Structure 1
Amino acid sequence: MTITDAPVKARQARSKVLTVLLWILLTPGLVWTVIRVGGWEPGRLIQLLAFTPYVAIGSLILAVVTLVLRRRVAGLVASLIAVVLAACVVPRALPDLDKGPGQGVVLRVMTANMLLGGADTADVVRLVKENRVDVLALQEFAPKTLAGLTAAGLDELLPYRSPAAEPGASGSGLYSRYPLAEPNSQRNHGGFLQASGTLLAPGAAPVVVESVHPSAPALPQWFGDWRTDLANEPRSDGDNPRRILLGDFNSTLDHSALRTLIAHGYRDAADTVGQGWVGTWGPYDGDLIPPVMIDHVLVDQQIGVRDVSVHGVKDSDHRSVVAELTLPAAS
């Protein structure tokens, strides 16, 4: 080997190391993409899949880097990963052409998780007033929450209710400006109550409203409950009545279990109006977690979506979701 050969061989060695490093960085994204597209949610990947939008952004950066470095095969694979993940997550940031019926009875609904009953009830009532909410769904609805909301004046704003208060995380509640026929609650497989009732809004067809709270996939022993709870949520297709499901679904649109539920006659309100990337859970009580949207308003395909907004709730780890809907007129 001559002296002039040494720099060439050194550059070749560095190039090989860089190529190997790029493939090491690409492999997790490739596996992630296969799992996301395949709809598989094994074990701890249930939790990780919630952060797919961040992986999509990272995959785009990596694709640009590999192409700039002229790694053709790696660049092709990285670009493919970026395109596929973008196809999964970008549409939820764009308004749908079909937002459902635009004519009918306007209804404003709101959902909020009360964090073991400790969220500020006066702040919730303030949001109800400011957003002219007609139906309020609450999760982690404790007896002290019920008392606090009454003291803050919610009963005067929303006099009809379906309360299922319990200490801890299992309680649920519904409040309404309009009569609620057949107020009820049912305990799901994971142990959480889900309050429900048939909303009788003036001039509108009846619609069943339910405060949803499937089990959280926080621990391995709860993964099965999470799957079962989502699978057992009521459908809104076929002969089922029109429904609005709103609450803490403990799932994002990157979970196939939630997408399967939506496919049974629903549309996701935030996704419909291009607000599907807005975070509702994560860093809002000080945790170092990137924000993700696990709180949703799912509406029957015969119900239109006009607008969706997200608002902080004092002393809760969730933000509330407010959706303005259009109910079909009574026939």
Structure 2
Amino acid sequence: MTSVRTAVAPLPPPVRPRRRLAAWASGLLVAVPSVVVGCRLIGVDAVTPVPQLLSFLPWLALPAGLALLPALLARRRLLAGWAVLVLAATCWFVLPYGPDTTTAHGPVVERLRVLAANVEFGQGTEALVETVRRERPQLVYVSECDRLCVRTLTAAVGPDLPHRAVVDGQGSTGSVVLSAYPLTAQPPIPAVMGMPGATARIGGRTVQLRLAHPLPPIPRQVDAWKRELGRVADFAAAQRDGGPVILAGDFNASQDHAAFRSVLDAGRLHDAARLAGAARTPTWPREGQGPLPPYVQIDHVLVSDDFRVRGVRFLDLAGSDHRAVLAELDLHAGR
């Protein structure tokens, strides 16, 4: 009697515990960057904690990059490829959003400086007075400027900036635009915190001025944040084919938020910091004002195609948790 022996395939070697641990570590490291980059890709930022996490997007390249090493140690090619993909997408989105120049035509009819500052419930007012006296801007957009703040600014810099558009309020609800040029009042953009507006004759042209200060995207308030940024976008869209526009302030949003990009796109507006090569310079929180270092740019000076940007600087204001943005602009005559 002949016996037949059947060859049995050897069992695969057990996964080594260290490789399993490395694979888990890689997966955990790449998980949050994957979600955030995915939301950035499809333009979703209306659900907590997505808007908050999008503010950290450039910094998420670090865990995405670190995820690659344990994936390679675990010999998980799919996981390593995923980490590379997420890292590449993160680095791509870190690039500045929008064109790097305007299409301004004609001779320069006015050179001006525009300063946007959040004085945090008026606490940075005195520092702002010193900054205005030193930098001598022609337009100053001040968020969270209460009644005492308005009175202080009027008394201190009124001779140089005698015209103003105000939304009267206490705490964070008050705001003011100070101007060296005569102003014609315009309706503010409806919001919980003041967004005053006006027109000014600058260099023979009528320039639309609006201060932006939507609510921050904290939990249970994200819908209101997006709604108010939508109203800012509606204003920008209404001016799209009009004259020059300067829209500035604390937007509580960065280029990684779809709601902010919609403002730029709706009005064909340009971020002055982007045009000056400083699109990723953080403005919040100011150094020493919290447990985190400055990590996100939420204060902006946006301009229409009628302007060219000579430069942008970011200035510390004692008493405020924001850095101010000072933009040097050339207004052109147009076609």
Question: Which range, TM-score by smaller chain?
Answer: 0.7 to 0.9
CA RMSD of aligned residues (A): 2.5
**How has the CA–CA distance of structure 1 residues 330 and 33 changed in structure 2, closer, same or farther, with 3 Å as cutoff?**
closer
1:228 counterpart letter in structure 2: R
CA drift at 1:27: 2.1
Counterpart for residue 253 of structure 1: 255
**How has the CA–CA distance of structure 1 residues 325 and 68 changed in structure 2, closer, same or farther, with 3 Å as cutoff?**
farther
1:293 & 1:17 partners in 2: Cα distance? 37
Runs of 4+ in structure 1 over 6 Å off: none
> What are the within-5 Å matches in structure 2 for residues 272-291 of structure 1?
272-284=275-287, 286-291=289-294
Counterpart for residue 111 of structure 2: 106
Equivalent pair of 1:244/1:298 in contact (CA under 8 Å): yes
Counterpart for residue 62 of structure 2: 57
2:334 & 2:77 partners in 1: Cα distance? 60
Counterpart for residue 315 of structure 1: 319
1:173 counterpart letter in structure 2: V
Deviates more, 1:234-243 or 1:203-212: 234-243
**How has the CA–CA distance of structure 1 residues 330 and 15 changed in structure 2, closer, same or farther, with 3 Å as cutoff?**
closer
CA drift at 1:307: 1.0
2:213 counterpart letter in structure 1: H
2:307 & 2:73 partners in 1: Cα distance? 47
Q: Secondary structure at the match of 2:218?
A: coil
2:34 counterpart letter in structure 1: L
1:60 & 1:171 partners in 2: Cα distance? 43
Please, what TM-score do these two structures have when normalized by structure 2? 0.86
Equivalent pair of 2:112/2:138 in contact (CA under 8 Å): yes
1:194 counterpart letter in structure 2: M
Alignment deviations for residues 201-248 of structure 1 (CA, whole Å, 9 cap, x no partner)? 2x342211111111122231x222111111111115544443111001
Bigger radius of gyration, 1 or 2?
A: 2
Deviates more, 1:286-295 or 1:99-108: 99-108
**How has the CA–CA distance of structure 1 residues 204 and 57 changed in structure 2, closer, same or farther, with 3 Å as cutoff?**
farther
Equivalent pair of 2:283/2:314 in contact (CA under 8 Å): yes
Structure 1 residue 198 and structure 2 residue 199: aligned?
Answer: yes
Counterpart for residue 211 of structure 1: 211
Equivalent pair of 1:282/1:288 in contact (CA under 8 Å): no
Alignment deviations for residues 259-303 of structure 1 (CA, whole Å, 9 cap, x no partner)? 011002101111222212111112546321342111111111232
**How has the CA–CA distance of structure 1 residues 46 and 88 changed in structure 2, closer, same or farther, with 3 Å as cutoff?**
same
Equivalent pair of 2:19/2:73 in contact (CA under 8 Å): no
Q: Secondary structure at the match of 2:56?
A: helix
CA drift at 1:141: 1.2
Counterpart for residue 35 of structure 2: 31
Alignment deviations for residues 2-48 of structure 1 (CA, whole Å, 9 cap, x no partner)? xxxxxxx7882321221232123222221221111111111222122
1:249 counterpart letter in structure 2: F
Q: Secondary structure at the match of 1:206?
A: strand
Equivalent pair of 1:123/1:314 in contact (CA under 8 Å): yes
1:177 & 1:156 partners in 2: Cα distance? 9
Counterpart for residue 324 of structure 1: 328
2:152 & 2:73 partners in 1: Cα distance? 58
1:15 counterpart letter in structure 2: R
Deviates more, 1:49-58 or 1:205-214: 49-58
1:23 & 1:194 partners in 2: Cα distance? 44
**How has the CA–CA distance of structure 1 residues 284 and 170 changed in structure 2, closer, same or farther, with 3 Å as cutoff?**
farther
Q: Which of the residues 84, 89, 96 maps onto 1:79?
A: 84
1:63 & 1:20 partners in 2: Cα distance? 12
1:78 & 1:330 partners in 2: Cα distance? 48
**Is there any run of 5+ residues in structure 1 with no aligned partner, and where?**
1-8
2:224 counterpart letter in structure 1: D
> What are the within-5 Å matches in structure 2 for residues 162-173 of structure 1?
162-173=165-176
Counterpart for residue 3 of structure 2: none
2:123 counterpart letter in structure 1: G
1:184 & 1:176 partners in 2: Cα distance? 14
Q: Secondary structure at the match of 1:91?
A: coil
Equivalent pair of 1:188/1:214 in contact (CA under 8 Å): no
CA drift at 1:196: 1.3
**How has the CA–CA distance of structure 1 residues 241 and 276 changed in structure 2, closer, same or farther, with 3 Å as cutoff?**
same
2:77 & 2:243 partners in 1: Cα distance? 54
1:138 & 1:161 partners in 2: Cα distance? 11
Deviates more, 1:309-318 or 1:279-288: 279-288
Counterpart for residue 125 of structure 1: 129
Structure 1 residue 137 and structure 2 residue 141: aligned?
Answer: yes
2:255 & 2:334 partners in 1: Cα distance? 32
**Is there any run of 5+ residues in structure 2 with no aligned partner, and where?**
1-12
